[in-house]
Amino acid sequence: MHLRRSAAVMAFALCSTMLAPLPAQAAADATTAAAPAAAEVPSSLPRTARPTHYTIAITPDAKALTFKGTFAIDVEVLANAPAIVVNADQLAIGAARLVPAKGDAMPLTVTLDKAAQTATFTPAAMPGPAVIAPGLYRLEGSYTGLIDTQASGLFALDYKDADGKDNRALFTQFEAPFARRFAPMFDEPSFKATFDLSATVPVGQMAIGNLPIASETPAGPGLKTVTFGTSPKMSSYLLFFGTGDFERIAKPAAPGVEAGIVSPRGSGEQARFALDELANLIPFYTDYFGQPFPLPKIDTVAGPGESQTFGAMENWGAIFTFARGLLDDPANTTPVRRRYIATTQAHETAHQWFGDLVTMAWWDDLWLNEGFASWMETKATDHFHPDWFPLLDRVEGREQAMGLDAYRTTHPIVQKIRTVEETNQAFDSITYEKGEAVISMLEAYAGEDVWRSGLRAYMAEHKFANSHTMDLWRAVEQAGAKGLTNIALDFTTQPGIPLVRVAAAKCAAGRTTLTLTQEEFTRDRIGQPSAMRWRVPLLVASGTGSPVRTIMANGRATVSVGGCGPVVINAGQLGYYRSLYTPRMAARLAKALPALKPIDQLGLLADQMELSEAGYQPMAAGLAFLGAVPVDANPLVASEAIGQFNDLYDRAGENKAAKAAVAARAIAAWKPRLDTLGFAPRKDESLAFASLRSALIAVLGKMGEPGVVAEARRQFALLDANPRAMDGPLKTVWQRVIARKADPAAWTKLEKLAEAATASSERADLFTLLAAAEDPALSQKALDLSLTTIPGATTSATMIAQVSYHNTPQAFDFFLANTDKIYSLVDGAGRGRYLGRITHEADTQAMVAKLTAYAATLDPDLRVQIERSLSAIRDRLATNPRIVRETQAWLKAK
Ligand SMILES: [Zn+2]
């Protein structure tokens, strides 16, 4: 799954429902014939039976938002059992029976357990002791279910079609536990089986499944029954079904494999960019993993609208992606979103192997899917688009992970998952970004070739089956990466961030000798002793001489490198740790920054600013790095610098003089770069430069730089004569400059544009912009508008979150007054994360008190998210006065 994210220019971010406690690890039934590993896998279901094949047929009633279905599950009963228990949620199950391979069918009684999300099938009136003997059976019956309006289970998305008419399409979203809302299933990743799916839909609609259509037959007036080919053995959460008024473009991707993009009819060529990306990825991954793609086709299906939780989902052979992250609309797709289209395809396609072909045995190892797909996404993007500098982006991922990992409320990469809500919340920055960061570090330790041959062996051994984290370490270590397992275990089973401190540095005879010590980097326990220790692979480089590799064990290391110049102790920035230098070394490094590699410039800037903000060193130490970034820096380094200024500007809060001083420096330092780039996009420029232009316009516009503001107003005025005058990749960027500072007239003009827009992405963008207005009266208007039917069922929650970014108290009060209604607009997996998202940016004591009181009313699973927000808010309250004071002093001195 690809998470929703927040970015400066493009708001793509994260978000739940049932709290179904799983029974304590089902007593592993010693009689199960399953592989030994299976006995260790937690399960909410008795391990006395397992599925081998499903035949599911459904008939949706899109208008009534209901569906009916029949199921037949081929089951192997492994031990005497009183009943067969499967997962079912929000289903009504009618008559059911159990048909043995030999003998007579047994009628069954069904008992539903709403809290456990299970259906128990018990033989009715059996003669003798009520027990199902080991053997092969078919469990079959009929049922009805519900179609949701948010992305969980079978769900509907409403949109305006190319003619501006209201239309409705159906899709499915099953990760994590929502396949049980589609049909009774053994809905856990270790219960792999084959699937035959068929659906009865209107004749004029296209139906999409994991496999191509095997047969199509008339099914009464205006209806047809579509049956898809039999799937390979796979986990239930990867099953997919979609139907609607779609069109499909396709091209060959590899021998015997066709790539396709399915989108609402009328999308035309907007799907071409994504199709080319998708088709290229299949041979790339086939080669990397050493396994062919096992299905005859791979589609990506575009859904109009959005989710508060995710952007895309890796259903095998039928990836689902929200249209705004898939269709390249020349009228409004920003450079950042265009990049997102490519990276999302790269992420979901990597899952076709890592996740779909080989699947984690249980959600504890979710990171195996997500950390890996994130890491692979970057690798593939670097292969196809090196001019976007994707490898530099790993620093941003590292910083995002560390932003959560520095607080006591974090968790290890490999974590204990026992409840449905815990599963939902496992989709976070630790699982994705820390996962990617740690994998990058381990690949660097193993070496690219050894790492890859380890992965190939792992794929070959576990294909069409399940695996554990340890299986992977074993494979890579066997391929030649000695000692890797111990390092990997330190970083995946322990939470937190190592801090490597240079305790002493000496230069003698042309060599520098460093004495390094280790602590834990933290934002909320500074000065408290920590018992945490990691074996840390270090790469130390000086200006001259070759870099030196070593492992820091037992919290100490001594390293000697050639030369007496500045030294980087995380050269290449692939280590997951912070580097604290002596004041003298830091000052020399800052001075040398323009001569360093872009990756080290970027990593050092982020790392040293964070150490300063946390209080490990004065602000001036980090700010020296910010001041040293050259104006012609690599576009990603420049974006980081402008992002740091933006952060300092926000931290100044209500202190207008402090804000003005930060803005003046940011403008003096970076407006010249925007002047060089120009306001207008250029043909043939790399997307990295186009993205930098967007970031500069967004941040300098927010700071009120007169030239940027005037240009935004000029363009916005053109809309009076021609509503399409702003069309292009910067439309949303310029409009955001206007929306932020909107007066009532500008706001009303934007509202009219939003209501008139028909393209689903553009419409959602415009309604979200209405919520970006800083004027509290206007953001209140946006909040009130959000709960009407006008913005569309999947945009409302985004609008409320958008208000929370600049006025958390207002958004949170609105949330408290309308909780049930708002939760009905957030998909089933997203409540906890949504709660975290709309509270995270608060910065007052009053909000601390309010959130603390609210947290006390919540179940522990949901409380975690508020506690994470509280950690960040308390930290800001404690550190902001010092950060602002020291920053002002630095600005004055320069
Ligand atoms: Zn994913």
pLDDT band at 126 (very low <50, low <70, confident <90, very high): low
Q: Which residues of 321-340 are buried (b: 16+ CB within 10 A; e: fewer)?
A: bbbbbbbbbeebbbbbbbbb
Whole-number pLDDT of residue 130: 72
Phi and psi (nearest 5°) for 367? -60, -25
Cα 333 to middle of ligand 1, angstroms = 23
Strand partners, 559: 514
Distance of alpha carbon 481 from alpha carbon 178, whole angstroms: 39
Strand partners, 207: 243
Mean pLDDT within 408-419: 89
* CB-CB contact of 263 with 247 (8 Å): yes
Distance of alpha carbon 352 from alpha carbon 463, whole angstroms: 11
Omega before 176 within 30 of 0, i.e. cis: yes
pLDDT band at 14 (very low <50, low <70, confident <90, very high): very low
Cα 92 to middle of ligand 1, angstroms = 31
pLDDT band at 129 (very low <50, low <70, confident <90, very high): low
pLDDT band at 421 (very low <50, low <70, confident <90, very high): confident
Distance of alpha carbon 819 from alpha carbon 828, whole angstroms: 14
Among 521, 520, 550, CA closest to 538: 550
Among 616, 550, 554, CA closest to 580: 616
What HEC string does 12-60 produce?
A: CCCCCCCCCECCCCCCCCCCCCCCHHHHHCCCCCCCCEEEEEEEEEEEE
pLDDT band at 597 (very low <50, low <70, confident <90, very high): very high
What HEC string does 82-145 produce?
A: CCEEEECCCCEEEEEEEEECCCCCEEEEEEEECCCCEEEEEECCCCCCCCECCEEEEEEEEEEE
Q: CA end-to-end span of the chain, whole Å?
A: 47
How much of the chain exceeds pLDDT 70, in percent? 95
**Mean pLDDT over the full length of the chain:** 92
Cα 385 to middle of ligand 1, angstroms = 20
Looking at per-residue pLDDT, the higher value among 270 and 176 belongs to: 270
Q: At residue 838, does pLDDT exceed 60?
A: yes
3-class DSSP state of 541:
strand
Apex CA 91: angle with CA 85 and CA 95, to 5°? Answer: 70
Phi and psi (nearest 5°) for 456? -65, -40
Q: Which residue has the tokens 């003619």?
A: 163
Query: CB atoms < 10 A from the CB of 773, how many?
Result: 27
Q: How much is the CA Rg of the chain, to the nearest whole Å? A: 28
Single-letter amino acid code for the residue at 701: G
Cα 366 to middle of ligand 1, angstroms = 9
Q: At residue 599, does pLDDT exceed 70?
A: yes
Cα 247 to middle of ligand 1, angstroms = 26
Q: At residue 22, does pLDDT exceed 50?
A: no
- Beta strands 223-228 and 194-202: pairing type? antiparallel
Cα 354 to middle of ligand 1, angstroms = 9
pLDDT band at 761 (very low <50, low <70, confident <90, very high): confident
* CB-CB contact of 833 with 423 (8 Å): no
Whole-number pLDDT of residue 862: 84
3-class DSSP state of 604:
helix
* CB-CB contact of 574 with 444 (8 Å): yes
Q: At residue 613, does pLDDT exceed 50?
A: yes
Cα 349 to middle of ligand 1, angstroms = 9
Q: At residue 12, does pLDDT exceed 90?
A: no
Q: At residue 777, does pLDDT exceed 50?
A: yes
* Token reading at 576: 């997951």
Cα 602 to middle of ligand 1, angstroms = 26
Single-letter amino acid code for the residue at 787: L
Distance of alpha carbon 121 from alpha carbon 816, whole angstroms: 41
Cα 514 to middle of ligand 1, angstroms = 40
Q: How far is CA 254 from CA 272, 293, 354, 358, 748, in A?
A: 18, 9, 19, 21, 51
Cα 289 to middle of ligand 1, angstroms = 17
* CB-CB contact of 238 with 317 (8 Å): no
Distance of alpha carbon 344 from alpha carbon 386, whole angstroms: 16
- Cβ-count burial of 52 within 10 angstroms (0-12 exposed, 13-18 middle, 19+ buried)? middle
Cα 797 to middle of ligand 1, angstroms = 22
Strand partners, 138: 74, 99
Q: Which residue has the tokens 């790339």?
A: 284
3-class DSSP state of 503:
strand
Query: CB atoms < 10 A from the CB of 744, how many?
Result: 12
pLDDT band at 4 (very low <50, low <70, confident <90, very high): low
Mean pLDDT within 251-275: 96
Distance of alpha carbon 285 from alpha carbon 303, whole angstroms: 25
Q: How far is CA 364 from CA 39, 355, 426, 646, in A?
A: 15, 14, 9, 37
Side by side, the strands of the sheet bearing 578-580 are 556-562, 511-521, 497-508, 578-580
Whole-number pLDDT of residue 44: 83
Cα 794 to middle of ligand 1, angstroms = 21
Distance of alpha carbon 239 from alpha carbon 317, whole angstroms: 9
Single-letter amino acid code for the residue at 216: E
Cα 395 to middle of ligand 1, angstroms = 19
Apex CA 304: angle with CA 298 and CA 310, to 5°? Answer: 70
Whole-number pLDDT of residue 17: 22
pLDDT band at 11 (very low <50, low <70, confident <90, very high): very low
- Beta strands 358-360 and 465-467: pairing type? parallel
pLDDT band at 9 (very low <50, low <70, confident <90, very high): very low
Distance of alpha carbon 46 from alpha carbon 25, whole angstroms: 10
Which one of the listed residues 306, 314, 348, 443 is annotated catalytic? 348
Cα 162 to middle of ligand 1, angstroms = 31
* Token reading at 162: 């190319």
Cα 25 to middle of ligand 1, angstroms = 26
Query: What's the half-sphere exposure (Cβ side, CA atoms, 13 Å) at 432?
Result: 24
pLDDT band at 127 (very low <50, low <70, confident <90, very high): low
Instruction: Specify whether 277 is catalytic.
Output: no
Distance of alpha carbon 167 from alpha carbon 204, whole angstroms: 13
How much of the chain exceeds pLDDT 90, in percent? 83
Distance of alpha carbon 570 from alpha carbon 574, whole angstroms: 7
Cα 340 to middle of ligand 1, angstroms = 13
Among 414, 425, 434, 290, CA closest to 374: 434
Residue 87 backbone class (left: φ over 0; alpha: ψ -120 to 50; beta: rest): beta
Lowest mean pLDDT among 546-550, 557-561, 876-880: 546-550
Element (H, E) at 187: none
Whole-number pLDDT of residue 124: 83
Distance of alpha carbon 629 from alpha carbon 638, whole angstroms: 7
Cα 373 to middle of ligand 1, angstroms = 6
3-class DSSP state of 212:
coil
Residue 258 C-alpha from the chain's centroid: 27
Alpha helices in 526-655 (DSSP H): 583-592, 598-614, 619-628, 635-651
Single-letter amino acid code for the residue at 25: Q
Single-letter amino acid code for the residue at 712: A
pLDDT band at 829 (very low <50, low <70, confident <90, very high): confident
**Per-residue pLDDT tens digits for 149-182:** 989 999 999 998 888 889 999 999 999 889 999 9
Q: At residue 306, does pLDDT exceed 90?
A: no
DSSP 777-790: HHHHHHHHHHTSSS
Distance of alpha carbon 429 from alpha carbon 408, whole angstroms: 15
Cα 322 to middle of ligand 1, angstroms = 14
**Per-residue pLDDT tens digits for 24-72:** 333 333 333 333 344 467 788 999 999 999 999 999 999 999 999 999 9
Cα 1 to middle of ligand 1, angstroms = 3
Q: How far is CA 72 from CA 17, 68, 130, 234, 648, in A?
A: 28, 14, 22, 17, 60
**N residues, the chain:** 894
Q: Which residues of 66-98 are buried (b: 16+ CB within 10 A; e: fewer)?
A: ebbbbbbbbbebbbebebbbbbbbbbebeebbb
Cα 731 to middle of ligand 1, angstroms = 29
